[in-house]
Structure 1
Amino acid sequence: MEVIHTAFRVTDLDRSKEFYIDGLGFDEKWGFVEDGVEHVYVGPKTGSDIHIFEDPSNDAPVEASSGNNIHADHSVCLLVDEDLQERFETLVARTNCHVILEPKTIDLGTHRNTITFVADPDGHAIELIERLEGPPPE
């Protein structure tokens, strides 16, 4: 079994595409329009996609993560295969996204990760994680 995609309803498809494509560096893989709703799939060259869609007939607020809560009811975790700090700085510079948690390195006992949490334009929590080589320092 594998995860194929995660879906988010967004309020402004163009703004969300800027965040995911220009900010995170994802590719726009494919999309379609059905019943007036535009669907776009974005993601890295290989692996799961994020399905974003804007429904002009639905003006209800998007249920997003709240404020600075890194333990939000929902989030997506993305593994960064390059320098997380550089990716974070590029993302913030290009999209002016809300930063929930600045990048920090955490010791998980057997390994270390650098993590950060940001919010997409609709407030969905996006966790970026870089797995660090070697054991934690003693």
Structure 2
Amino acid sequence: MAALGLTGIGHVALKVADINRSLAFYRDRLGFDEMMHLDHDDGSLWLVYLRITDTQFLELFPDGEGNQAPGPERTAVNHFCLETNDLDATANALRAAGITLTVEPKAGADGNRQCWIADPDGNRIEFMQMGPASMQTEAIRRLNSAA
């Protein structure tokens, strides 16, 4: 897919049940910077844009139906993953912010280290530290050498 000129995933968009609860989680506890609000023509909130990095963002859309995201067995987005250089420090920072880890730091089947949390709507979030010999790292080396 190099012909498409892709440089990464620009944003993930979540429909949330309670925008204030979600902002308290993502902005106040995870530390994502609130960049902007976009409103409908009638002045009601359409979405809030949060910065993860300078090129990756999270969009929160208010007024989702129901109280929980579909579980991992449902046809939907299963989870999203945020990459870190130090999983233990990330896990400790999450705990210090009062966030419960649903999966403690561990080695994944792919050779990367991971831990997991859930947001207030039940969306599953993985934090991953890429391993030097992980399946992804080896595949990247193979693909780069073939290019």
Q: TM-score range by the shorter chain?
A: 0.7 to 0.9
Question: What runs of 5+ residues in structure 1 fail to find an aligned partner?
Answer: none
Give the RMSD, CA atoms, in angstroms.
Answer: 2.7
| Aligned residues of 2:30 and 2:97 also touching (Cα < 8 A) | no
Q: Which residue identity does 2:93 align to in structure 1? A: T
Secondary structure, aligned partner of 1:14: helix
* Identity within the alignment, %: 30
Question: 1:75: how far off?
Answer: 1.0
Higher helix proportion, which one?
2
1:85 pairs with 69, 85, 88, which one? 88
Tell me, yes or no, if structure 1 residue 96 matches structure 2 residue 99: yes
Q: Deviations over 1:80-128 (max 9, x none)?
A: 23x222222322332434x3321112353xxx31111211010011111
Question: 1:62: how far off?
Answer: 4.8
Tell me, yes or no, if structure 1 residue 8 matches structure 2 residue 10: no
Greater RCO (CA < 8 Å, at least 6 residues apart): 1
TM-score (norm 2): 0.69
Higher strand proportion, which one?
1
Listed as ranges, the matches of 1:1-138 within 5 Å are 1=6, 2-34=8-40, 35=42, 36-55=44-63, 60-62=65-67, 64-66=69-71, 73=76, 74-81=78-85, 83-97=86-100, 99-106=101-108, 108=110, 112-132=111-131, 134-135=132-133
Secondary structure, aligned partner of 1:44: strand
Question: What runs of 5+ residues in structure 2 fail to find an aligned partner?
Answer: 1-5, 135-147
Whole-angstrom distance in 1 between the partners of 2:123 and 2:88: 20
Larger Rg belongs to: 2
Whole-angstrom distance in 2 between the partners of 1:88 and 1:18: 19
Question: 1:65: how far off?
Answer: 4.2
Whole-angstrom distance in 1 between the partners of 2:133 and 2:79: 27
Whole-angstrom distance in 2 between the partners of 1:51 and 1:65: 18
